[in-house]
Structure 1
Amino acid sequence: MERNLKPIETRKQKSGMENNNMSIAEEPVSPSSRLLHEPAFNLHILAIMGFNSKINPHVFTHNMPHTLLKHPRFTSLMVVDKEENGKMKWVETEVDLSQHITVVEAPEVEVEGDETHRKNKKFVEDYVYELSKERMDMSRPLWDLHILNLKTRDAEALAVLRMHHALGDGASINSLLLACTRQTANPKLLPTISTRSSSPPKTLKPNNPKPKPKNFFKLVWNTLVDVFIFIATLFFLKDSQTPITPSPASESKPKRFAYRILSLNDFFSIKLATNTTINDVALGVTQAALSMYLNRRYGKRDIGSIEGQNNLPKNLRLRSCLFFNLRPAKGIQALADMMKKEKGESNSMSKWGWGNRFGYAILPLKIGMLNDPLDYVREAKATADRKKYSYEPIFTYYLANFVIKFFGPKAAAILTNKIFSNASTCFSNVVGPREDLEFFGHPIAFIAPTCYGQPSALMVHFQSYVDKMGVIISVDENVIPDPNQLLDDFEKSLHLIKDAAAAAATSSPTNL
């Protein structure tokens, strides 16, 4: 990959340019960002945004320099410094928006209707699939925007923002995009958002008081067990072979993306009925959906299997990799203030703490045809509660940095690829704003983030927005050829769990 990178000016050259009032802004590339650039773990972020009105491309082009492009990562090249043993740096450059913004020619529509909306959504899925075949052009800043003015069931138009993951972690990018939006009811106000889902477990926060002796013992024990399992996964411990097991070199294959917009109120009703969190409910729905999907896939393998019977093998080991942001978020207001500044006016990334600073944990999933749908949520809560008392994410973060420092980012990427290949899925849940927002005057209908370049055959994202919960999946279609059927299982599982929660509340002695 380094052959595509431009060498940075030498210090001598840079000094001469400074004398001619042409100084170059530079920032070192963080170890995690270097890891995310390697072929074995070359991650890209896609943010699909639906809008309630047609998009005016000229409005986007006019506003980008005053918002998103005030952030140095979106106006910088990732380059190699040949004078410093190939160290990578961000170097600011001029941005030609015509090379970054593409207005996609949408198919002609004769008659509006469900069939047209279905075809348009298929057009979007195919377009984004083609995008996933490409890696970002390293000769310009690592982002682009694609505008699709076509109507689907969920929106009047869509925009697809593609970024290399080296620009920042998911929590940072999410906060930056929201800092470019304003509340529809009051265009002067920024969105309000809880950052709990993108933060590390409470035991990992630096300002957290020392745990009690009992909790300290639990913390030490859980960490030791998790580290042992992590190392075992790195060398030999693999998930069971299932219909969603990643295929070899899945990271280099294009990904098929699909999303489904569900009711956030359904998640809240389950949360209240089970005394859990939204994250527990999302994980529980994921376990139920994967159980339903795998049961059907296994049933098709067996001659004479009956629809509705349990076709799942016993003792399936299925796990997911879960990312934790270990850097304190600066918040939407701080990013909005930064974008008000002129370039060079204290816009240092070290000041704002930008970059990729994350660890990850291996999350066991409960797969089985359970009699009580609420048990999927209860199992999810037990798993999540246990992970709150573990330093596994911090261990994985420092392990990656150690490997990068002594063996290089290529070795770290190979090891990370091994972990993700030996687990079956990736899982993420991001809390979004609770008020309606507009992006450059365009009202937002939904937000659907996802990734490609990961070795997993399935990545699941949950993203809330106002009263909606988006479920977004990124799949290797050679392994999962029917992503929309899998989304049907997510929707069906949510309704089954919701109905079970309502029935449990009705039969509770307190309601008699």
Structure 2
Amino acid sequence: MRRTRTLKPIQTTKNVENILSCTEEGQPLSPMARMFHEPESNVYIIIVIGFQTQINPEVVKANLVDTFLKQPRFSCLQVADEKNGGQLKWVRTEVDLDNHVKAPSPDLNQVESPDMYVEDYVSNLSRTKISMSIPMWDIHLLNIKTSKAESVGILRVHHSIGDGVSLMSLFLSCSRKVSDPDALPTLPASKKQKPCSTSSGGFLQHFIKLFSVLLIYWNTLVDVVMFLITILFLDDTKTPLKGPSGVGSTPRRIVHRIVSLDDVKLVKNAMNATINDVMVGVTQAALSRYLNRKYGKNKKGGGGAAGNNNLPKNIRLRATSFVNLRPYLGNEDISETMKSSSDVKLGNLIGYVLFPFTIALREDALDYVQSAKATGKRKKATLEAIYTYFMAKTFNKFFGAKWGSFPTQTTLWFSNVPGPQEEITCFGHQMAYIAPTCYGQPNALMIHVVSYANKINIILSVDEEIVPDPHQFCDDLEESLKLIKDAVIYQGLVDCNVY
């Protein structure tokens, strides 16, 4: 095994000692953090990382001291404050890395399928919780070669410590480009709206601005009313993907499928859409294929044969889709905060929207993307995510976490996080893929999308009692992307010679 060098820190002008002195000692958990401790939503983030080399556990431990352990939340217990009604608070503690870094040594002669060994290992983690007697995170290092990597690392963090965006920021602060070992990874640039000129344009421009503002407030009102109706009584249609009450406490099977980012960009450019629009369209197509097959198997007399439309009419299927609120709440951009692991601000600055998926068999596969694009545009013209964030904080503060918990009426959780645009190393180990997801959420299905270099990884976290065939669902996702890409080429929306 070749020697793996330790991480060389990026030099910054900030005073690290001042940063380290600003701990959260004695502070209560935020309302959003407390939501992730509720019995129906006791959520853990789990990040599976494939590496192109064997992992050196001692190198990982040495680097954790200068990165993760400089984060107060990675060095704090969550302790009940009896003086404050048993509310959890942060209490600084000494961290023994041996309690957090696990490096099992499986007997490779007894492992029939390395891929299944890793999959089972991750699934077994979802059956357990991290003791609250230590900071609620751990790392598992598996030096076992799979079909996609030479070794696998698994980072597990309780969601109360931070959301996916802040943890991605922390992770990337520990990473460097393969092409330039001293440079931080590059993230996809977010599109910033151009400031509107107020000195020209006349009546028409002012009318358009006024109409846009009124539209946002109207959409927000509609979404807030729909949200309250959902919380009170509006449930999704009972489909084979809809989990029962209490599903948040069940173990999960976590699988993932890697697809080409170039294929997604091909569709994106041809349809003047976003990558998120394309991936939501692919998900709609895959959900429709999967449910059509499930309903077909339940039909008698051959009525559910392949190729038939077996779907019931008017299926209501929605996702709780998470939105990073940092750009809206004036927080620093992720590319700024990841210059040093000490600069990263962990926390849960996320809101969520109720995102409707159209379940139907389409003759034109591009209709799935068009539908996703239209819904996405509508959801961008609303303050729903900000409302749900502040509503959760308010309800938690005055009525307790139970009243501010996540909606259980939706069918799935959906989330996406942008990843680095180039190949990177973490603590000197070159990455092959990254697959973040969650367990403990009050839905039987979670779909997570993350980009890395020229690939997109689609990760499923499923309750096997509800979704017993997650690999088949991955096949549906991959096939749906292929059908949409082929439709773009067939309809002449892209120059085939260039492609």
Sort the TM-score into its range (normalised by shorter chain).
0.7 to 0.9
| TM-superposed deviation, 1:24 | 9.3
Counterpart amino acid of 2:156? Answer: R
The residue number in structure 2 matching 1:365 is 357
In the alignment, structure 1 residue 132 sits paired with structure 2 residue 126:
yes
The residue number in structure 2 matching 1:269 is 266
The TM-score with structure 2 as length reference comes to: 0.87
Structure 1 window deviating more from structure 2 (87-96 vs 296-305): it is 87-96
The residue number in structure 1 matching 2:45 is 45
| TM-superposed deviation, 1:71 | 1.1
In the alignment, structure 1 residue 169 sits paired with structure 2 residue 156:
no
Check 1:329–1:296 CA distance in 2 against 1; reply closer, same or farther (3 A cut): farther
RMSD between aligned residues: 2.5
Check 1:79–1:257 CA distance in 2 against 1; reply closer, same or farther (3 A cut): same
In the alignment, structure 1 residue 499 sits paired with structure 2 residue 486:
yes
Q: How does 1:340-419 map to 2 (within 5 A)?
A: 353-413=345-405, 416=406, 419=407
Instruction: Measure, in 1, the Cα distance between the counterparts of 2:186 and 2:444.
Output: 34
The DSSP-based 3-state class of the residue aligned with 2:308 is coil
Counterpart pick for 2:115 among 117, 121, 124: 121
| TM-superposed deviation, 1:332 | 4.2
Instruction: Measure, in 2, the Cα distance between the counterparts of 1:464 and 1:435.
Output: 10
Counterpart pick for 2:245 among 244, 248, 256: 248
Is contact 1:35-1:412 (8 Å) kept? yes
Counterpart amino acid of 2:69? Answer: L
The DSSP-based 3-state class of the residue aligned with 2:403 is helix
Is contact 1:330-1:353 (8 Å) kept? no
Is contact 2:172-2:338 (8 Å) kept? no
- 1:91-118 C-alpha deviation (Å, 9 max, x unpaired): 221111111111122341599xxxx6xx
Instruction: Measure, in 1, the Cα distance between the counterparts of 2:434 and 2:479.
Output: 22
Is contact 1:36-1:43 (8 Å) kept? yes
Instruction: Measure, in 1, the Cα distance between the counterparts of 2:65 and 2:57.
Output: 14
Counterpart amino acid of 1:368? Answer: A
In the alignment, structure 1 residue 317 sits paired with structure 2 residue 316:
yes
Instruction: Measure, in 1, the Cα distance between the counterparts of 2:50 and 2:224.
Output: 41
Instruction: Measure, in 2, the Cα distance between the counterparts of 1:390 and 1:106.
Output: 51
| TM-superposed deviation, 1:412 | 2.1
Identity among equivalent pairs (%): 45
Counterpart amino acid of 1:193? Answer: L
The residue number in structure 2 matching 1:88 is 88
| TM-superposed deviation, 1:353 | 4.8
Check 1:33–1:407 CA distance in 2 against 1; reply closer, same or farther (3 A cut): same
The residue number in structure 2 matching 1:334 is 337
Counterpart amino acid of 2:464? Answer: E
The DSSP-based 3-state class of the residue aligned with 2:108 is coil
The structure that is helix-richer by fraction is 1
Q: What is the count of residue pairs matched by the alignment?
A: 459
The DSSP-based 3-state class of the residue aligned with 1:34 is helix
The residue number in structure 2 matching 1:479 is 466
Structure 1 window deviating more from structure 2 (250-259 vs 78-87): it is 78-87
Check 1:226–1:24 CA distance in 2 against 1; reply closer, same or farther (3 A cut): closer
Check 1:68–1:151 CA distance in 2 against 1; reply closer, same or farther (3 A cut): same
Is contact 2:167-2:346 (8 Å) kept? no
Instruction: Measure, in 2, the Cα distance between the counterparts of 1:248 and 1:499.
Output: 40
| TM-superposed deviation, 1:227 | 1.0
In the alignment, structure 1 residue 217 sits paired with structure 2 residue 214:
yes
Structure 1 window deviating more from structure 2 (376-385 vs 245-254): it is 245-254
Instruction: Measure, in 1, the Cα distance between the counterparts of 2:95 and 2:494.
Output: 62
Check 1:353–1:163 CA distance in 2 against 1; reply closer, same or farther (3 A cut): closer
Check 1:384–1:506 CA distance in 2 against 1; reply closer, same or farther (3 A cut): closer
Name structure 2 gaps, 5 residues minimum.
1-22, 195-205
Check 1:409–1:311 CA distance in 2 against 1; reply closer, same or farther (3 A cut): same
Instruction: Measure, in 2, the Cα distance between the counterparts of 1:195 and 1:484.
Output: 32
Q: How does 1:91-106 map to 2 (within 5 A)?
A: 91-106=91-106
Check 1:506–1:91 CA distance in 2 against 1; reply closer, same or farther (3 A cut): closer
Counterpart pick for 1:185 among 162, 179, 202: 179
| TM-superposed deviation, 1:356 | 1.0
Instruction: Measure, in 2, the Cα distance between the counterparts of 1:86 and 1:452.
Output: 25
Check 1:108–1:353 CA distance in 2 against 1; reply closer, same or farther (3 A cut): closer
Is contact 2:435-2:459 (8 Å) kept? yes
Is contact 1:195-1:431 (8 Å) kept? no
